[in-house]
Chains A and B, each alone.
Chain A
Amino acid sequence: MKIAVLVKQTPDTETKANLGAQGLETTGLKFILNPYDEFAVEEAIQLRDKLKGEAVVVSLGPDRVVDAMRTALAMGCDTGIHIKVSEDELKKLDSFTVAKALASALKQKGPFDLILAGKQAIDDDALAVPQMVAEFLELPRVTVVTKLEMSADAKSAKLRRAVEGGAEEVIEVTLPVLVAAHKGINTPRYASLPGIMKAKQKKVELIELAALGLSSNDAKVTYEKFELPPEKAPGKIFKGSPQELAEQIVQHLRNEAKVI
């Protein structure tokens, strides 16, 4: 089975937002492998181990994104494909163009039986690129997946995806398919020390975005303006007996905040 895992390098959760004319200032930021992508990487490795074949990690961005790819390679992916763009160019790309580039690279290096991705990236929270990649490849896709069960012949899969109200949809699909993983699908492993050493030797192929015939001119939307949320005025803190506290809360919710 040939598996591709799409990963994104994102700023760490604890990041403080320093804004410039082009959005988040990336200098000095700590970057990580997008947390949801860890689930995709883990699923890819488990399936590769079970069904044999290979797991290829794919990422788009400046040279720094190779660090996130090395994490995936240290966890157990076999090789990597790095679609390179400059930091400035990256800021001008939208989901549409990123997905088109990823799909184009997958078409060149494929065909893949299974494409895995995290359901969303924690920097733009768009939940868009995986579905868009699938559509560019004319493949079915299932998102927010909490369980993936491959059939015995590995030709089809049964999946569960989380929807509103704590419910889950049960979905059946014939491969090839794109699956966007959610928390709960597995428990991602930590990269072992030998894994980290080995990852340094694994091959990462470089493709320039321009070589795929794409640039930021292909973006359908542009980011125009960036702003911090308004500062919130300090709140009121109540002290007293439980009953007094409850009275204070309810009275303020009714008379001041007017939400009850």
Chain B
Amino acid sequence: MTKALVLVELKNGNAKKSSLESIHALASQGVEVDAIAFGPDTTGNKDKVAKAVGGQGAKKLLIADSADLKFYQPDIFTATIAATFKAGGYQILAGSASSLVKDLFPTIAVRLDAGLAPDCVAIKIEGASLSAKRPMLAGKYFATLKFKAFPAVVSLRPNVLTIGADSGQSAQIVATPPSGSIRAKTLEVSGAAGNSRPDLTEAERIMSAGRAIKEAANFKIIEECADVIGAAVGASRAAVDAGMAPHAMQVGQTGKTVNPNLYIACGISGAIQHLAGMKTSKVIVAINTDPEAPIFQKADYGAVGDLFAVVPELTKEFKKLLSAG
């Protein structure tokens, strides 16, 4: 039987949904899955995480905890996962294509002498063969990759694959000592404090604004609406370059590639660089004064109007709808 190890990331003590998507994708194809999680975050949350990963079909939850792992340390993660992978007789390493996994998996692939299929939108296991589909050229086309042999290292784009119904099973918790020594040391993480909104790359809903927002302070009207529907807030490159938003909020080429269920573009014309980062969103809404704006060609729903007039009304309508249930 094919065995897979899935890296599970935690947020606020819970297994991230995107990590569970990877477990389900493999377990539902008959692969025996174990999960591995790192860091002091796991300490008080072992049972909760074991239930979440077990519910999706993971047999064991390996926990590599150490006070040194308060922050992501690539050298330790690499050594620990590689050692666990070899000792456990696994054939597949998988995880959600988060910023951590995108950084980490290529290194592990080389250490395991394995191929890599990053940021995939579909994965198929047939006997000893694994193939995966991934977007190329910012989603302009798709390529299907086939591994010549195991081991295979695969990351899956968040929000594309689903999770299954909770089986009610819990994974068996196994302590796994971290190994390796730190060469590049993460000292601290700065700048994320006070932001309770979901991260752009994992958000299921996103509201973005372009240069039409005019100044940074006006993002408030976007944020108010976004908070009603639990959306992350993004910006176009034009808005970022004009100093209206930080680069971390930029969606599109040289910014973030996002894949939410709902993307609401406010005052964004739809430059090809922006479309590159968001066109795989499941439902796209565009609000723009210019009926000829290219964004309307990609939008499922377009509203010809001024964002300053429409967005506050949208906030009201969302509130009305969601309070009615």
Contact = CB atoms under 8 A, between A and B. Distances in A.
Nearest to B140: A17
Contact of A172 (B187, B191, B317): B187
B131 interface: yes
B301 A23 contact: no
Contacts of B301: 235-236, 238, 248-249, 252-253, 257
A229 B321 CA distance: 33
Given A220-B148, A221-B145, A246-B314, A167 B135 contact: no
B316 interface: yes
Which of B107, B202, B318 has most A Cβ within 10 Å?
B107
Contact of A183 (B107, B119, B254): B254
B272 interface: yes
B242 interface: no
A81 to B, nearest CB: 21
Contact of A36 (B107, B111, B254, B262): B254
B116 A96 contact: yes
B98 interface: yes
A204 interface: no
A150 interface: no
Interface in A197-225: 219-225
Contacts of B273: 13
Given A128-B118, A166-B192, A222-B145, A247 B317 contact: yes
A169 B247 contact: no
B99 interface: yes
A170 B191 CA distance: 11
B318 A260 contact: yes
B65 to A, nearest CB: 20
A140 B201 CA distance: 26
A63 B107 CA distance: 29
A166 B246 contact: yes
**Tier of interface size on chain B:** 35 or more
Contacts of A247: 313, 317
A131 B184 CA distance: 13
Nearest to A254: B321
Contacts of A227: 141-142, 144
A212 B77 CA distance: 31
B48 interface: no
B285 A224 contact: no
Interface stretch (A66-74, A104-112, A157-165): A157-165
Interface in A118-134: 122-132, 134
B317 A246 contact: yes
B261 A13 contact: no
A161 to B, nearest CB: 8
B146 A249 contact: no
Interface stretch (A1-9, A41-49, A141-149): A141-149
A165 B199 contact: yes
B147 interface: yes
Interface string B248-259: 110001110100
Interface in A220-260: 220-229, 232, 234-239, 242-243, 245-250, 252-254, 257, 259-260
B303 A164 contact: no
B30 interface: no
A174 interface: yes
A13 B143 contact: no
B302 A237 contact: yes
A11 B187 CA distance: 38
B115 A122 contact: no
Contacts of A171: 184-187
Contact of A220 (B114, B118, B316): B114
B137 A24 contact: yes
B137 A11 contact: yes
Contacts of A229: 139-142, 280
Given A238-B302, A238-B304, A123 B247 contact: no
A242 B249 CA distance: 26
Interface in B33-71: 71
Contacts of B199: 164-165
B94 interface: no
Given A135-B107, A144-B103, A226 B254 contact: no
Given A24-B137, A140-B75, 8 more contacts: A122-B138, A127-B106, A132-B107, A169-B72, A184-B247, A226-B141, A250-B318, A260-B322
14 contacts: A17-B137, A96-B114, A127-B119, A128-B105, A131-B110, A132-B109, A162-B99, A164-B98, A166-B192, A173-B185, A221-B145, A237-B304, A246-B310, A249-B285
Interface of A: 11, 13-17, 19, 23-24, 35-36, 94-96, 99, 122-132, 134-136, 139-144, 162-174, 177, 183-184, 219-229, 232, 234-239, 242-243, 245-250, 252-254, 257, 259-260
